[in-house]
Amino acid sequence: MPASLPPESENSLRAVDFFCGAGGMSYGLSQAGIKVLGGVDNAVDCEKTYEENIPGAKYIRHNITTLTAPELARRLNLERDDADLIFSGCSPCQFWSKIRTDKTKSFETAFLLRQFQRFIKYFRPGYVVVENVPGLYKRKDNTLLSDFLKFLDSQGYNYQDGIINANHFGVPQNRMRYLLIASRVSTISPMPVDPPGGSLTVADFIGVQNGFPEIAHGNRDGSSFLHTAAALSEKNVRRIEVTPVSGGDRTSWAGDPELQINAYRGKDNIFRDVYGRMSWDRPAPTITTRFISLSNGRFGHPEENRAISVREGATLQTFPKDYQFHTTNLATLARQIGNAVPPALAQRIGEHLISVRNG
């Protein structure tokens, strides 16, 4: 269990974290001093991770579409019209993402915001938080969000919402997200951003200077630190070896007929980030569920010839180094980490909620 959780602060706010996953939002709210009562998710692999790192919180493993509000009230001892209750809803976002994926599989989770709305309507918590991909806000053919905002209006909530960059809120990534903070008991003001010029970078979080020893691709770390890196094919090893350190991209080997990828021949201006290295002196790109893969984004280590490790990805997501992830499957680990709300962002949200609660 992470040793850095603070004692509960002198405030009465309590939270329920819907679609909680591995606990990024819950952990950040706890860091702010908010008591997290529990998280709701149907992922079997996240249960142990969540409960070990969020002490005192219950993991309600249940499909939200079949979970009833009275059942949730019973299991977490919730009351209706609780002015000090926070509902956080960060539902799966693949359907609304701009990343090219098969949307068929993600369609069934695309409208979970409506399920979240069902619980808000029943309990009428004092505060509501939604964090999601920008596509939820930007898609012109999407009435899901507009319907949800109309619902909040009808229930007497005021809110601040829009697209934010998590890099302005303590996260070393250019991670663009849709964020909504609403209340029916307090006036919501904009969340303060970091001062200009204070951008966090990759070098602030990973590297030998930050406790990450050099490793080779394919390294397996059996300890809880999980400094494990995916193995690369022989050709991908050759590709990253000739990619310049700290920010190099695939154009460095575009002229090599053996290394160039057929889909990119003569198309050096598209998808420039794939197979690229992170830059030491810049924020990381968005840490996705596939950050352990060199071919799925700019996930190459700034100077070592490999993709970043599991723990490096978690650290760039601002999980503490002693946060315990309880699965040994690399893809599952990456999904737990990449799907999470960065705890540093969640902590800032929690601190802001305490501030507006206290007037």
Note the maximum CA span of the chain: 66
Write down the catalytic residue from 20, 46, 90, 93: 93
For residue 164, the one-letter residue type is I
Is 93 an active-site residue? yes
Nearest to 173 by CA among 24, 326, 323, 353: 24
Torsion angles phi and psi, residue 161, rounded to 5: -150, 160
Please give, one letter per residue, the 3-state secondary structure of the chain.
CCCCCCCCCCCCCEEEEECCCCCHHHHHHHHHCCEEEEEEECCHHHHHHHHHHCCCCEEEECCCCCCCHHHHHHHHCCCCCCCCEEEEECCCCHHHCCCCCCHHHHHHHCCHHHHHHHHHHHHCCCEEEEEECCHHHHCCCCCHHHHHHHHHHHCCCEEEEEEEEHHHHCCCECCEEEEEEEECCCCCCCCCCCCCCCCCCHHHCCCHHHCCCCCCCCCCCCCCCCCCCCCCCHHHHHHHHCCCCCCCCHHHHCCCCCCCCHHHCCCCCCCCCCCCECCCCCCECCCCCCCCCHHHCCCECCCCCCECCHHHHHHHCCCCCCCCCCCCCHHHHHHHHHCCCCHHHHHHHHHHHHHHHCC
Question: Among residues 96, 148, 90, which one has the least CA distance to residue 117?
Answer: 148
* Residues carrying an active site annotation: 93
